Amino acid sequence: MSPTASPSPSPPPSYAYWYLAAGATQIRPGSWVSHTINFEEYVQVTNPTAQTAPVEITYVDETGELYREDISIPRETRHTIKVNNKPGCAANDSISMMIYDTTDRIIMVERSMYWDAGGYTWGGGNNSVGNNTTNLFWYLPEGATHVFDTFIHILNPDPHDSSQVRVTFMNEQAQTWTVETSVGPRSNWTIYANDVVGSQAGIATTVDVLNGIPVAAERTMYWDTWEEEDPERYIEWVEGHASIGTTEASTKWYIPEGATHIFDHFILIQNPSLTESADIKVTFMDYLGKETDHYHTIPPHTRYTI
């Protein structure tokens, strides 16, 4: 299938181009779960402009392009896509999507996934905004494998060229693990981090492209629990969360959300430098204006958890 709209090999950040690296409609038993889990995956596309948006949507998995469709979204309207209903997407454990406004105007995109857990319909769920850029470098500070199942998702949207991708995991003791592969044109790569790093209480991830063909990257995590009223009953993948990566390291970060009265609250920080330690100051501020400072030195190639 020949697409009618394709991004440049390294498109600038644009609200017309969106990439969803993660996605699935079914997970079959494996290292992660002992039974099949069926997802209902929805992608929401909003056209906030005063004109109709012609949108091209391409669905891919690790084998390549699955299906492409063109839709029109009226002005100031949200459009919802049920991914399960698209050709090639039913019972698929790794679906990525590329969504383009072919007139290069503004659209907004996010993904929601729901699954039955703990005896409840849609008892589990996750959500993430899409990426509106591809890049040669990605950083994902969050991750853990001791009580979580962690996945890294890579999407190569290029219609012609493969992307040579190296993924490096780093823990809080500066140990590193590296995996590398060639991700084909318009296809994806899913890494089950637990199989790479074993049991780790904290890992961060760096994604490097080695041949100049940019990609998009996300992370998903799932966790199990015991039922409160029946401690003998173990519930797999009772919940999950998802996040896109960041393409930039910075000396300043701002995190508006946080609470500790009924929550366990963690801040995850990654030092991707191979040679330099990072001296950090983290300032917590409450609604009364009280500030509390925390200082730490993070060694090179290390993840740090507060």
The tokens for 10 are 């390294």
Same domain, yes or no: 225 and 254: no
Are 93 and 161 found together in one domain? yes
Which one of 208, 226, 244 terminates a domain? 244
**Which tokens sit at 208?**
């490097």
Instruction: Decide which of 195, 221, 244 is a domain's last residue.
Output: 244
Assigned token pair, 101: 């406004």
Q: What percent of the residues of the chain are helix, what percent strand, and what percent coil, each to the nearest 5?
A: 5, 55, 45
| Domain residue limits at 232 | 17-244
Residue 118 has a pLDDT of: 82
Residue listed under structure tokens 């996605």:
23
The verdict on residue 8 lying in a domain is: no
| 297 occurs within a structural domain | yes
Let me know whether 305 and 226 are in one domain. no
Number of Cβ atoms within 10 Å of the Cβ of 234: 12
Same domain, residue pair 41 and 110: yes
The tens place of each residue's pLDDT in the chain, 306 residues long, gives 444 444 444 445 579 999 999 999 999 999 899 999 999 999 999 999 999 999 999 999 999 999 999 999 999 999 999 999 999 999 999 999 999 999 999 999 999 999 999 888 999 999 999 999 999 999 999 999 999 999 999 999 999 999 999 999 999 999 999 999 999 999 999 999 999 999 999 999 999 999 999 999 999 999 998 777 676 777 899 999 999 999 999 999 999 999 999 999 999 999 999 999 999 999 999 999 999 999 999 999 999 999
* Coil, helix or strand at residue 85: helix
Domain count, the chain: 2
294 shares its domain with 183: no
Q: Tell me how far apart the alpha carbons of residues 107 and 155 are, in angstroms, rounded to a whole number.
A: 20
Return the SS3 of 56: strand
pLDDT at 253: 97
CATH of the domain at 74: 2.60.290.11
The CA distance from 26 to 90, in Å, is 8
In a domain, 4, yes or no: no
Indicate if 31 and 172 belong to the same structural domain.
Answer: yes
Q: Flag whether 3 is in a domain.
A: no
Whether residues 139 and 288 fall in one domain: no
Q: Are residues 160 and 132 in the same domain?
A: yes
Domain's final residue, options 214, 244, 274 = 244
Distance between alpha carbon 282 and the CA centroid of its chain, in Å?
A: 25
Q: 145 near 199, Cβ under 8 Å?
A: yes
Tens digit of each residue's pLDDT (9 = 90 or more) over 200-209: 999 999 999 9
For residue 56, give both structure tokens.
């091209």
DSSP state letter for 208: E
- Spatial distance between the Cα atoms of 142 and 266, rounded to a whole number of angstroms: 10
pTM equals 0.93
Burial class of residue 225 (count of CB atoms within 10 Å of its CB; 0-12, 13-18, 19+)? middle
